[in-house]
Structure 1
Amino acid sequence: MKAGQTGSEKREGYIYGIDGLRAVAVLMVFAYHLRLPFAKGGLLGVTVFFVISGFLITRILITELENTHTINLKNFWLRRMRRLLPAVLTMLPVLIFVTAIFNRVLFTKACSDLLSVLLGYNNWWQIFNNVSYFENAGAPSPLTHCWSLAIEAQFYLVYPLLLIFLSKLRNKKKKMMIVTILLAFVSVILMAVLFDPAKDPSRAYYGTDTRVFSLLFGSFLAFVTQDGRLERKVAGLIRESVGVLSFAGLLCMMAAIDGYSSFLYRGGQALASLLALFVILAVLNKRSVLGRVLSILPLKWIGERSYGIYLWHYPIILLLSGGKKASWWIGLIAILLTFLAAGFSYRFIETPIRHGVIRKNLDIIRREPRTRRERKRQIRFLRRGLKITAFVLSVGVSSILCVALVPRKSVLSNKEELEAQADQAKAKQTDSEGEESKSRKEMTDEELLADLDLLLMGDSIALGASDEFYAAFPNSICDAAVSRYTTESFDLYDSYVNEKGWAGDGVIFALGSNGLLYDSLGTMREKLGPDMPFFVFTARAPYTTWETSNNEEIYEFTDSTDNTYLIDWYGVSEGHAEYFDADETHLTEEGAKAYIECIKEEVLKVYKEE
């Protein structure tokens, strides 16, 4: 999330309207993480950042290529490091210290992500270490948002090399443009192909290959606008109108499209990138209405500090809210603290280092003094430099000691224990249905439940209650697994029916805590046929953004669908903190008993009537 160009890059042609676009983007990301209702798709702010970064960086690169016929990679990479690293190296020690004292779970998660953030591969770290629901229980890592910084860092590393290679060919500019746009469309296709709503979408969301199209679209715009011909060919009124409509379209997408919508992976992100392009094209004309609006002082101030705001806002939100939807006053405190931290970082760390304060101070210290006054000044700078160096070293060493020595604390670290417990409970399951000497009408409640052959398809929450499930339903099946998505239920059900010959009395759908429902309820209802009872659990997952929407869909579906019954775990568990572990999602022993009681009550209502 670049907050601006380096001092050497700022010139008379600086586009202040882009600062305003940055400001809108970072504010929408902020609002999305605060779970404000008008920012359902606020994560598209990251897409806008990518487009801006690709555009500005490519302008710098092709200008250097035109002037020198090459790119000084060393200088380019050093400038990028001076721009990105100081703010990160300021935020990380503060985060480590604060979480080590006040929230050991967040501290543990931050420590796990630390190296990947520093070395610029956090997005691939998240993909290859596909952290299970157990590992992600409770609030996510406070460094999760650094995946986007990693993609930008990787782009800065690779794209200049590609341009240098293409610059050796004939018609180099044309070939650069063609290769850039072709790679962008390949990336768009990869996102659509790799996205599967039945699986963890992180591969498509976090991958450099699946997200780089936004940066490349920005790069393509830099090529077509570099010589000013496009602006001259396209009438100002047309560019202005398209820009305003595109800006309105972006705001609508950020406000209305759910961040987990399949549409975003199948063209929505690309559409948002193109809309951002048209906005940039419009604000290239500083006299445009849109350019003037986006250049107003508040937006300019936020845009210049957008990188710091992006870095600080997410850890602060998690520290204050614990990862759950925050009250308005918690949100207000988070905003104030974020702006203070970002303002301090921009004023005293990012800007001085970006303008070469370290090199200037070293030059003063190394210079041979010609007068006594210069000698005193040199000594003063040396003392200041030593103090700053000592402070930086002490902070660095202290952070390392925290990471190395402070005890870690993970939420639900007993994953293996729960799975073993579930296996043992399943092993005790009765193989035969037993004798049916009585009709179900003559049975006691316990006998009726023991006689039923139900199939419970669940996630890690049901896994923690499997022992109690088999105690109440010894002739039934509990198939629960960590990080199971709702759409995985289709193949699971088919495997029981087609491969194991299961033809039981009903199905319990205890999923919905790990992601959106998509079309799972309707599809499962069709698979079961009209005669088999279908029981659906509501979700208690306060750290997710889909808890409310999933539950609303479940309430509506069970109310309007025949032979489909609600098990309202969300309603039953409301106000019962004793039911949950520290993540307020997974079950204690008491919670497991209450969880199974919910099933028993609803099942008895249905089968007693039969």
Structure 2
Amino acid sequence: MKKYYKYIDVLRVIACLFVLLYHLGLSKGGYLAVCTFFVMSGYFTCKSLFKNEKVSLKKYYKDRFFKIYLPLFVVVLLTIGVVSLIPNVSWFNLKPESTSALLGYNNIWQVGASLDYFSRHINSPFMHLWYISILLQFDLVFPFIFLILKKLGDKLGKSTPVVITFLVSIISTVYFYKVSLNGSTMALYYGTFTRMFSIWFGVFLGMVHHYYRPIIFNNKKLSKIIYFVYLVILIGMFVTVGYDSKYFSVAMILASLISMRLISYGTVDVNVKNETNFFGYVIKKFSDISYLVYLVQYPVIYLIQYSGLEGFKKVSLIFVLVIVISIILHIALDFKSSKYKKIRCLLVILVGCFMIYGGLKFAESKDHTSEMKALEKELEENKKLVNENQENYQKELEKEREDLDKILSELDVDKDKLMEVIKSFPIIGIGDSVMLGAINNLYEAFPNGYFDAKVSRTDYEVDDILIDLKKKNMLGEPILIHLGTNGDCSRSCKLQIMKLTEGHEVFWINTTNLDYVNEKLKKYESEFSNLHIIDWKSLSKGHDEYFYSDGIHLNPVGRKAYTEVILNELYNYYMNEYKKKQDEAIGKYEEEQKSKITFYGDTLLLSVFQNFKSEFSKSNFITRDKFSYSDLMSLISESIEKKEITNRVVLMFDEDIKVSEYKEIAKMLEGKDLYVISVTNEISELSKLENVKVIKLDVKNNKDYLMADNKHLSKTGKDELTKLVSEVINNE
């Protein structure tokens, strides 16, 4: 009669449930339950080989095929068939991943493909099959190792295989721990040799139980108590010790050791007659389908994520589907049972149809590994280019600020020395008797100037003076004219004067006696940008002390005031010019900043970086492999605080940022132009926001825009998106 160990089944069921809970994100340490399965696999494989005096490799591999490989084969092809029937399900690794699962090297493939089991992002239905691959690899070679150990035990004594397996367990554990200190989490978790320590724990335990006996208390009641104490501790670890814990590797070793003790104590309660109560019946039935539960859970979770369900409804549906599908497959594959023959036939036909369809889809599917590797290489190269661009952008930003500060600083220095500079001007003065009266004061104020003033002079004489000065190369800057007291000249005369003074700043002092001359002069000022009126009439009004009795010619007080007015007017003009230059410099800087764009995005943006860079050369690009909402908000806030935020901001993400989060970002960037690029995500409602423009690439009707992963853009997609973004941004 076959022995039945109820408490071993309890351990198996609990481990199975916690693996499922972990995959659903409901148990922090459920990954540790895999250690329990590894120990149990090592133990029962070893024990099964001891059952017969002579080991039959044919029988062993046949048993492993029907028990381990056939269910795996069925689930893999069944999953491919079902997934292929569901639209909008993206699984671009179908070919290489399914091949690795069927050929037993999925753990190795996952390390190479950089699939992170702990990322909680379900991008494959077979992310859990690394465990089965390690089992298959172990099952392939262990019978030969066992034969050697058994022979050594027969010749050298029963302690020999026990000591050897103990030493191998210790060495493999040390190796695992060493890798945990120096290696990556993925290599540690997926590696065949790193995970082998748990299996060797089980093999060592199997050797001890065969050659000696379980190392436990003889008191059956006490043994049960100890069993449940260990079980509670193990469950506590399943609940509390996350993969990000600093005790991650220690917890895996401890979980394996506790599993050994549980197996030892679990073998105390033996039910030879296979009699059990309802609870025991449920445990046994669940234990019978536990392997299938493990196989089907990830495919179910993978498919349900596309249903849109969340929370309790999602979890409940997954649980129900996992159990129902496992039961169906158990009935279909239980060829030894005489029960449910008709149902089994129908199920075999149904499952077989899906498997055939899945097999055909598997055969016709393409391996996009080389394409994805090329993308991976491109992304890595673009990361370097983005980093270089950020450095250059910051350097350029700093240089622009330094240049502006330098210009403003130089202008500030010039302003401080402006009066000295004005007094040193090689000014040219042409005037009548009014200027003549103040000529000594003018020379005192402008020692480098040249003044030509004459009694009763009119505007008509100015042409000849200017021509003569030009010939002598004496026409300096600026030109000061005070004529009109003795009457005006014709328009052609004035135009000739302005023609001869072209390229020079002309300061014309108006008269105190002839208003019509002054009125005409104002009109000429609006006509010529280099003509500036010094309103002597207004500035001298009410100052009778400046003039002799005629109200025109200047007395000594007036001559001094006259000279000061000229100096002040020149100072004010050139001071305004300096301010204009400052404003121009600041305006130019601000316009340059306005023309800049900041791009934020994940690998989607990273993949089109070179296209965008060629189109928007003076832009800043900030990318991450994964970009959380909080990261993005933090970066934008920092840019705003540093006053580095550009007037135009472009966001390009896969589906990491939600619509509600985009709205918060738009609120933060109020007053700025925000462009949100939509490739596979649906964010059209953002267009309702005043400062947001959604740029939608139509990938739905243009499948050639996307690569095999249905996420990143092909060359055609990149070119089209670049053209689209350029049109939208540059035309606004």
Structure 2 length-normalised TM: 0.53
> Which secondary structure state, in structure 2, belongs to the residue aligned with residue 226 of structure 1?
helix
**Deviation digits for residues 150-200 of structure 1, max 9, x if unmatched?**
111111122221121122323353222222222222222222222368x74
Provide the C-alpha distance between the structure 2 equivalents of 1:307 and 1:139, rounded to a whole number of angstroms. 21
Q: Give the residue type in structure 2 aligned to 1:112.
A: P
Partner Cα separation in structure 1 for residue 168 and residue 588 of structure 2: 64
On the 8 A contact 2:96/2:367 being kept in 1, the answer is no
Equivalent residue number for residue 108 of structure 1 = 92
Shift of residue 396, structure 1, vs aligned partner: 5.3
Which residue of 108, 130, 139 maps to 1:156? 139
In structure 2, the residue matched to 1:139 is: 122
The verdict on how the C-alpha distance between 1:424 and 1:268 changes in structure 2, with shifts beyond 3 A counting, is closer
Give how far 1:457 is off: 12
Correspondences of 1:124-523 after superposition (within 5 Å) = 124-131=108-115, 139-169=122-152, 170-195=155-180, 200-226=184-210, 229-230=213-214, 234-265=218-249, 267-286=250-269, 296-322=280-306, 326-349=310-333, 351-352=334-335, 397-405=356-364, 426=388, 429=392, 432=396, 433-435=398-400, 436=402, 437-438=404-405, 460=603, 463=606
> SS in structure 1 opposite 2:30?
coil
* Distance (Å, rounded) in 2 between the aligned partners of 1:132 and 1:229: 41
**8 A Cα contact 1:17 1:292, kept in partner:** no
- Give the deviation of 1:114 after TM superposition: 1.1
Structure with the greater relative contact order (CA < 8 A, sep ≥ 6): 1 or 2?
A: 1
Report the counterpart of residue 23 of structure 1 in structure 2.
13
Structure 1: distance between partners of 2:633 and 2:158: 53
Query: 1:67-86 CA deviation, whole Å, 9 max, x = no partner?
Result: 23xx2112111111011123
Query: How far has the Cα of 1:388 moved from its partner?
Result: 10
Identify the residue that residue 58 of structure 1 maps to in structure 2.
Answer: 46
The 1:483–1:477 alpha-carbon spacing in structure 2 relative to 1, beyond 3 Å, is closer
Higher Rg of the two aligned structures? 2
Provide structure 2 residue ranges, at least 5 long, that are not aligned to the other structure: 410-582, 635-641, 646-652, 668-673, 684-691, 697-732
CA pair 120-419 structure 1, distance change in 2 beyond 3 A: closer
What amino acid maps onto 2:24 in structure 1? L
Structure 1 segment 88-99 matched on structure 2, within 5 A: 88-99=72-83
The answer to whether the Cα contact below 8 Å between 2:94 and 2:362 also exists between their aligned partners in 1 is: no
The offset of 1:284, in angstroms, is 1.3
Deviation by residue 1:458-510 (Cα, 9 ceiling, x = unmatched): 974773696789999969785x57589xxxxxxxxxxxxxxxxxxxxxxx977
Look up the match of 2:497.
Answer: none
Q: Residue type matched to 1:434 in 2? A: K
Distance 2:675 2:593 in 1: 30
Give the secondary-structure state (helix, strand or coil) at the position aligned to 1:158. Answer: helix
Amino acid at match of 1:188: T
Query: SS where residue 43 of structure 1 aligns?
Result: helix
Cα displacement string for residues 334-389 of structure 1 (whole angstroms, at most 9, x for unaligned residues): 1111111100111121x21x6699xxx9xxxxxxxxxxxxxxxxxx9xxx99x999
Query: 1:14 offset after TM fit, Å?
Result: 2.1
The structural deviation recorded for 1:132 is 8.9
Q: Quick one: percent identity of the two aligned structures?
A: 22
Q: Match for residue 40 of structure 1?
A: 28
Contact 1:28 1:45 in 2 (8 A): yes
Cα deviation, 1:211-233, whole Å, max 9, x if unaligned, reads 11111112222222236644576
**1:14 partner amino acid:** Y
Residue type at the aligned position of 1:279: L
Give the distance between the partners of 2:44 and 2:30, measured in 1 at CA.
Answer: 22
Alpha-carbon distance in structure 2 between the residues aligned to 1:473 and 1:391: 59
Pairwise CA RMSD: 5.4
1:408–1:213 CA distance, 2 compared to 1 (3 A) = closer
Preserved CA contact (<8 Å) 2:332 2:348: no
* Conservation of the 8 A alpha-carbon contact between 2:241 and 2:251: no
How is 1:545-584 mapped onto 2 (pairs within 5 angstroms)? 572=665, 581-582=679-680
**Which digits, 9 at most, give the CA deviation of each residue in 1:541-587, with x for residues without a partner?**
989xxx9xxxxxxxxxxxxxxxxxxxx9897499x9976654899xx
Q: What is the CA deviation profile of residues 212-266 of structure 1, one whole-angstrom value per residue up to 9, with x for unaligned ones? A: 111111222222223664457654455333322211111111111113334222x
Q: 1:121 aligns with which of 85, 105, 124?
A: 105
Question: How many angstroms does 1:323 deviate by?
Answer: 10
Give the TM-score taking structure 1 as reference length.
Answer: 0.63
Name the aligned partner's letter for residue 330 of structure 2: Y
